[in-house]
Amino acid sequence: MHKKEESEANMETGKGIHHVMHLLDWEVSARKRAWTIAGVLAFFFVILLVLNILTPLISDDYRYLYSFADGTRIESFADVIRSQVAHYYNMNGRVITHTLCQAFLLLGKPIFNGINAAAFIGLGLLIYYSAFLSLKHLRIHWLVAIYLLMWVLPPFFGESYLWLSGASNYIYGPALALLFLLPYRKYFAKQLKRGAVKQILLSVLLAVLGILSGWAGEGIGIAAVFMAALFILKAILEKQKLQVWMFSGLLFSAVGMYLGVNAPSNLAKISTIGGWLNLQEIVFRFIQNSLNLITSFLPLLILSALILLYRFLDSAGKTQDTKRSFRLPLSAIYGLGALAAVYAYTVTPVFPPRAWNGAVLFAIVMLSCQYSEIEIRPTALQRAVSVVTVVCLLGFFASACGAIYSNYRTSCEDKARIQSIIQQRDSGVMNVVIPTIDADNKYNTFTSHEDLHMQTGPDSQMAKYYGVQSIEKQTTKD
């Protein structure tokens, strides 16, 4: 009797695994696939929406509520443009992404919450499309893997994806770069139509996308230019016909990068701190970035090694074309772009952890390109991949619940201290004192910000926003 029950239990487990396998990818009907994909996207969207709602305005968000031109509150998109002209000369060169930042603040945080959650979903689909160039026969388990890697790999997820000022740079900047590179990617898959009119239209499109992506941030811009050059090199090595639009994109992305890096405000800051880093500092930064790279990208490196191993074993015994000319793999282009996005900060005074996200996203595209070149055929291996995917999803859900709890707590604390500011102001106290907010979860923006020193003193835009003279913060120990 015991053996019979055990046998029935094993059969039920086998059916469950088989059902999961069907839902996630293999041998599933088009209707079930569509519902599964919609469910996956909705699941991640809801998690990101909740986290965005629970993330308040913090630090630079208050600064970007006001114009850099005259210090007045931003009330129109024309104000945003005037502000960013002044920003370019007085603050830094990232006017493309900071235009988005001030535009989002103009629209309001509730609207941004929805847009930003949708942008996370769109970015995952863009990464998938950059590798596979189709969403028609979407490998659901790999789309899930992309979102999980986007969740796990950034050093400070909250700063890169939830903080309004950070997300404006580190979601939308890399997205611009990936959009810019799509025509290059599609060209090598023979998906671009030829002809004089197409050449002209693509040249104009690549000029616009090139200058936007090149100007999207220091590391992202340098990586975009570098990858465009690598695509042209790939065409030369593989004796592909070079297209005018390729050079249009390269030229204008380089122009955008130059405008961003050499902004008058950046040059003024460099002279203020005593110039560029010396050779000793550059060597130290290079070693430091290399060690951080290995540590941060370890999951990617392990997955990449497994994919390459499977590809090697799968091709064993098959006839190889030994006369084929050298080819620059697509995955190598995005991988080298990720390295460029990291080492671009070797010569800069600072490399904030949130700036790693561009390199992380390019590296995920690299891994996706590798995965697009293999086909998992053994049924047992398909089942194993499906089970691992479900286990990882459960782990993600547990992590997301912890992130939601952490952000809910700090959101309540933020609302309480805003109420305290208003009460002190209404009672005639114009130099208000509020408690600091601390967190220890990388999915919480307060974790990576030194809240004690953010938006304090008489020059605080937070004080200006709430109509008081100054804000001081005290720790609970005080």
> Which pLDDT tens digit goes with each residue over 92-108?
888 999 999 999 999 99
Domain contains 432:
no
Which position has the higher pLDDT, 416 or 198?
Answer: 416
Rounded (5°) CA angle 248-122-50: 145
Which position has the higher pLDDT, 319 or 413?
Answer: 413
Which position has the higher pLDDT, 201 or 314?
Answer: 201
Assigned token pair, 408 = 């809910």
60 neighbors 165 (Cβ within 8 angstroms) = yes
Question: What pLDDT sits at residue 247?
Answer: 94
- How far is the C-alpha of 93 from the C-alpha of 63, rounded, in Å? 16
How far apart, in Å, are the Cα atoms of 404 and each of 54, 397, 411? 8, 10, 10
Domain contains 444:
no
Which position has the higher pLDDT, 475 or 201?
Answer: 201
User: pTM, whole model, 2 decimals?
Assistant: 0.89
Assigned token pair, 266 = 């950046």
**Is 81 exposed, middle or buried (CB count within 10 Å of its CB: 0-12, 13-18, 19+)?**
middle
Domain contains 466:
no
Question: What pLDDT sits at residue 198?
Answer: 81
3-class secondary-structure state, position 73: strand
Range in 26-35, 133-142, 405-414 with the lowest mean pLDDT: 26-35
**Is 475 exposed, middle or buried (CB count within 10 Å of its CB: 0-12, 13-18, 19+)?**
exposed
| Mean pLDDT score across all residues of the chain | 86
Tracing tokens 């913090």 back to the chain, one arrives at 58
- How far is the C-alpha of 352 from the C-alpha of 59, rounded, in Å? 15
Domain contains 478:
no
Domain contains 136:
yes
Tens-place pLDDT, residues 349-391: 677 888 888 999 999 999 999 998 888 777 777 788 888 888 9
Residue 435 sits at φ, ψ, to 5 deg, of -75, 155
Which position has the higher pLDDT, 458 or 129?
Answer: 129
Number of separate helices (H) and strands (E) present in the chain? 21, 2
- How far is the C-alpha of 25 from the C-alpha of 37, rounded, in Å? 10
Domain contains 197:
yes
Question: What pLDDT sits at residue 309?
Answer: 87
Tens-place pLDDT, residues 214-252: 999 888 999 999 999 999 999 999 888 888 899 999 999
Which position has the higher pLDDT, 93 or 333?
Answer: 333
Range in 2-6, 190-194, 405-409, 449-453 with the lowest mean pLDDT: 2-6
With a pLDDT cut of 70, the percent of the chain lying above it is 86
Q: How many Å from the N-terminal Cα to the C-terminal Cα in the chain? A: 68
Question: Is the per-residue pLDDT at 61 higher than 80?
Answer: yes
131 neighbors 371 (Cβ within 8 angstroms) = yes
Domain contains 28:
yes
Residue 188 sits at φ, ψ, to 5 deg, of -75, -10
Question: How many structural domains comprise the chain?
Answer: 1
- How far is the C-alpha of 62 from the C-alpha of 465, rounded, in Å? 7
Assigned token pair, 371 = 């995965």
Domain contains 201:
yes
User: With bands split at pLDDT 50, 70 and 90, how would you rate the model's confidence at 1?
Assistant: very low
Which position has the higher pLDDT, 34 or 120?
Answer: 120
Q: What is the extent of the structural domain holding 78?
A: 2-313+327-409
